[in-house]
Structure 1
Amino acid sequence: MAKVKGNGTIIEKRRGVYEIQLSCGKDPATGRYRRISRTIHGTKRDAARALDKLRTELGGGLSIDSQTITFGQWAKEFMTSRRESGRVGASTLANDQNMLDLICSILGDVPLCKLDARMTKNLFPEIRKRREAQGYRCSNSTLQHYHALLKTCLKAAVNLDLLMRNPLDKIEAPRRDTVARRALDADEAGRLLHCIDVSEQAALEALADKESRQRPSDIQDRDFLRGIRDVSYILLVRLALATGARQGELMAATWRELDFASSRFTIAQAMSNGGEIKQPKTQSGIRSIYVDRSTMMHLAAWKQLQAELLATIGVAQDDSTPCFCSSVGDFLDKSGFQKWWRVWRTKNGFETLKLHELRHTMATQLLGAGIDVKTVQARLGHANASLTLNTYSHALPARDEAAANVIASLYSAHSEPVPIEAQIA
C-alpha cells in the first residue's frame, strides 16, 4: 500500500497544461523515494481536483502500481494467474483468452484506474459491432459471458488494491436470450429407441463380419480394430436417451462408473471440448443415477465383447477402459462423434436432433409423467431444484389438467350432492 506524503505539488508547464506530483515515501524493496506525476490539461482548478483524487485513491489503500498499469497489462497478469492456479480447464482458458483479446483491442491502452461505469457500459455494443463485422453472431447470451469474465477480471484487480471499486458492479449484465428447448415426445422417443436397436444390431453384425474376414497373420500384427467405434457410438446414444447425461459425461465414462449389480451409472468426470478428462465444475455434477435393466443388459454384453476384441490388439480391458472406445481402445474424439451423429440422425429421420436434446427429452418426459422435481434435478446434476424448474417449467402444464381433476375429486368426495334439476333452476 502506498503511503501518501504531503499535499502534493502543482507545476504549470505552459498555459493550460499542469503537472501534478505526489510523494509516496520510500520503496521498501529498493529504499528509493517514490513519486507519482501526472500531466493535466485544463485549468489550475482541474489540476487541483486531479491531485485531490489521486491523494484520496492512494490514501484509501490503492497500490502505487494502479496509477501506471493499463487494462491490457492487467488482463495479461490476470490470465497468467488463472493458468497457474490449476483450477480452470484448458478449453475455458482458451475461450477466456479469446474474449479478453477482443476486450483488450478496445480497452487495452486505457489505464486501469481510469476505467469507469460509463466506459464499461459502452464496451458491450462495441463488442457486438466488432464480432458481427468479423462474421460472428453475437447474441445477448454471448455478451453476458463477456460481462461475467470482465467482472471477474476487475474484481481480482480490486482485491489487489489496483482499483477502488469494480465499475461493472453498477452495470447490469445483458439479459440472456431465451432458448427454445426442443424435446422429443413419447412417440418420437420410442421411434428413436427402435432406430438405436436396429443400428446397434447392424453395427455388431458388421463388426463380426470384419473380424471373420481377418487373416491370422493380420490379427497377429494389427494394432487397431475396424468397426468398434460404430458400436461405441450407437451405445453412447442409447445411454444418453436412458439417462439424459451430457455428451462430455458419456464420452468420459469408464467401466468403473457402471455398476451392473445395482444397475447404476456414476457420473464422476467429463470430457472437455478439447478432449481433456476432468471432474465436473460443482459437487452436484458428481452423481449416481439408476439405469433401466434393458440398457444395462446391452452395456454388459458390450463390455464382454469389447474385452475380447481389445485383447486381439494387446489391450487389456480394466476399470479405466472407456465404455465407448476408439479403434485403439482409447477415448473417442468429440469431433469424430459429431460427424457420425449428423449422418446417423439424418439417415434415421431426425435431421435436426441434437444429442443434448435427449437430455431435455428425459427431463420433460419425467416431469410430465409426475416425477418430482428433486428426482429430476438429481438425475440432471443441477445445483438446485430452482434451476430445474426454471429450465423445464414448460413441462409442468402437461400435468395441470390432472391436478385440476384431483382437486375436484377431493372436494366432491366431501360435499353433499345437489340434484341436477336444482342446479339448472
Structure 2
Amino acid sequence: MASIKQRSDGTWRARYRDDAGKEHARHFTLKRDAQRWLDEIAAAVVTGQYVDPKAGRITWDEWTARWMERQSWAAGTYEAATVAVKSVPWRESAIAGIKSSHIQAWVAGESKRGLAPSTIKTRLNYIQMSFRAAVADKLIVASPALGVKAPRGRKAEAAMRIMTADEVLAMLDAAGDFRGFVEVCVFAGLRLGEAAGLQLRDVNFLGRSLTVARQVQGATIKTARIVPPKYESERTVYVPDELMASLAAHVKRQQVTDQDEQLFVTPLGRLWNRNNAAEEWRRIRAATGLSDGVTLHTLRHTFASNLIAQGCDVVTVQRALGHSTPSITLNVYSHLWPSAEDRTRSATASFMTQIRNSADSVRIETEKPQVRGSR
C-alpha cells in the first residue's frame, strides 16, 4: 500500500508498507518527486530488487560474523576468511555505506604494505563473497566489490621456481632426518600438510603408492591438528621403487611400527606444522645456498614440472597433485606444457624428416649401377 499526502508546511509525504507490514516514508518538495520515488520502489518490488533501506545499517563486523557462522568451511578456510574480513578499515561502518572506492583503496593499501598479489587476491575474494551474500539476503542492492581488481602478479613462467637435479641432490644431502619428508614433497608432489599427515598405513610398499587421506593443519604446535585433506585432494599417488626403498629405510630407522603412527614427526615427537617445517626448510636452504624464493612448495612445483616434461597429460598431473579440476592445473602449470606452436613445429619436422628419408631411399634405388648380363 502506498500513498502521497501534502503536509501543512507544503511538503509532500510519500509512504508505503513493505511485505512485512513495516512503514517507510520520505518527504519531498514537489509531488512529482514523491511519485517518482514510489514508482521506483514499486519497480524494485516487481523486479525482485527491493531492499529495506534500513537493512544495510548493519555493520561490516556484524554482518561478516553472521555470514561466516552459516558456512560449512574447513577450519583452514574459516581462518583465512577471518583474516580477510578483519583486514579492512571499514569494520565498524554500515555495509550500505561502503563504496567501491573504499575497497579499491584497501587493495592499494595492502599492496603498498608489501603483501603478495596472490594474498591480496585471496582476501579480496572473501570480501567479494561476503558482499554477494549481503545482496542475496536483501541487505544491499548491489555489491560495491563488483569490478574491484587485485593487483596483477608476475606471470607463472616468471614467478614459478623449478629446482634443478643438482639442487635437489644437494637439498637431500643436507636434509638429515627431514629427508623423508622432503622426498614425499619432491617425488610425490605432496603439500606440506599432506606430508605431515602421512601415517604408516598410507604407505603401500607392495603397490608402490602413497594415499593422501589426511593433512596437518595449523601453524603452531598448539594449533596443529589432523584433519581431512583439502576438498577433492584425497588421492593415491603412484611412486617409484627408489622412493619406496627410502621410506622403508626411514620406517626402520625411526622404528615406526603402528599403522596409526605418523610417518614423520619432529625430534620431540610432535606433528610437523607450517612454522616448524618452514624453520627446518630454512636450515636446509642455508646449508645448500638456495635462494629465499625456494620454499617447500617449490618441491611440489618441481614434481609437477617433471611429470609434464615426461609427457604426462593434464588429467594425470591433476590427479597426482590432487587438484579438483583440470582447469586449476592448467591455470598454474600451462606454461610448462609445449605450446601449439611447439607441437606444430615438431609434428611438421617429423613429417619433413619422413619425406626426406623416403626421397633418399628412392634416389639410392635409381642411382644404383645397372649390372649387364654376360654374353
TM-score (norm 2): 0.78
1:392 aligned counterpart, secondary structure: helix
Match of 2:283 in 1: 343
Rate the CA distance shift 1:267–1:392 in 2: closer, same or farther, 3 A.
Answer: same
Matched, 1:288 2:236: yes
8 Å CA contact 1:267, 1:287 repeated in 2: yes
8 Å CA contact 1:184, 1:361 repeated in 2: yes
**Aligned counterpart for 2:167 among listed residues 147, 166, 188:** 188
Q: Which amino acid aligns with 1:49?
A: R
Report the CA distance between 1:248 and its aligned residue. 1.6
Q: Distance in 2 between matches of 1:94 and 1:140?
A: 19
Rate the CA distance shift 1:263–1:12 in 2: closer, same or farther, 3 A.
Answer: farther
Instruction: Trace 1:230-241 onto structure 2 (pairs within 5 A).
Output: 231=177, 233-241=178-186
Q: Distance in 1 between matches of 2:18 and 2:307?
A: 66
Rate the CA distance shift 1:276–1:338 in 2: closer, same or farther, 3 A.
Answer: same
Matched, 1:395 2:336: yes
With 242-251 and 390-399 compared, the bigger mean Cα shift is at 390-399
8 Å CA contact 1:23, 1:34 repeated in 2: yes
Q: Which amino acid aligns with 2:296?
A: L
8 Å CA contact 2:60, 2:92 repeated in 1: no
Q: Distance in 1 between matches of 2:355 and 2:65?
A: 63
Q: Distance in 2 between matches of 1:144 and 1:71?
A: 27
Report the CA distance between 1:252 and its aligned residue. 1.6
**Aligned counterpart for 1:306 among listed residues 254, 259, 263:** 254
Count of matched residue positions in the alignment of Structure 1 and Structure 2: 353
8 Å CA contact 2:171, 2:284 repeated in 1: no
Match of 2:38 in 1: 51
Match of 1:362 in 2: 303
Match of 1:97 in 2: 82
**Aligned counterpart for 1:35 among listed residues 23, 33, 52:** 23
Instruction: Trace 1:89-128 onto structure 2 (pairs within 5 A).
Output: 89-103=74-88, 105=90, 108-111=93-96, 119-120=99-100, 122-128=101-107
1:21 aligned counterpart, secondary structure: strand
8 Å CA contact 2:191, 2:300 repeated in 1: yes
Q: Distance in 2 between matches of 1:45 and 1:276?
A: 65
Mind listing any 5+ residue stretches in structure 1 that lack a counterpart? 28-32, 201-230, 309-316, 421-425
Matched, 1:144 2:127: no
Q: Which amino acid aligns with 2:241?
A: R
Identity of aligned residues (%): 23
**Aligned counterpart for 1:83 among listed residues 45, 65, 69:** 69
Q: Distance in 2 between matches of 1:9 and 1:104?
A: 41
Q: Deviations over 1:188-213 (max 9, x none)?
A: 334434x25xx43xxxxxxxxxxxxx
Match of 2:199 in 1: 254
Q: Deviations over 1:366-389 (max 9, x none)?
A: 222333333222211223334333
Q: Which amino acid aligns with 2:197?
A: A
Root-mean-square deviation over aligned CA pairs: 3.6
Mind listing any 5+ residue stretches in structure 2 that lack a counterpart? 365-375
Q: Distance in 1 between matches of 2:109 and 2:145?
A: 21
Instruction: Trace 1:157-306 onto structure 2 (pairs within 5 A).
Output: 157-164=134-141, 166=143, 171=147, 173-174=149-150, 176-178=152-154, 179=156, 180-193=159-172, 195-196=173-174, 199-200=175-176, 231=177, 233-274=178-219, 275-283=224-232, 285-306=233-254
Q: Deviations over 1:257-298 (max 9, x none)?
A: 211121111112223344343333432x11101122222222
8 Å CA contact 2:235, 2:319 repeated in 1: yes
1:356 aligned counterpart, secondary structure: helix
**Aligned counterpart for 1:24 among listed residues 11, 18, 32:** 18
Q: Distance in 2 between matches of 1:291 and 1:264?
A: 5
Report the CA distance between 1:247 and its aligned residue. 1.0
Report the CA distance between 1:46 and its aligned residue. 4.1
Q: Distance in 2 between matches of 1:339 and 1:260?
A: 30
**Aligned counterpart for 2:272 among listed residues 306, 328, 332:** 332
Q: Deviations over 1:155-196 (max 9, x none)?
A: 323433444555655x26446423410101334334434x25
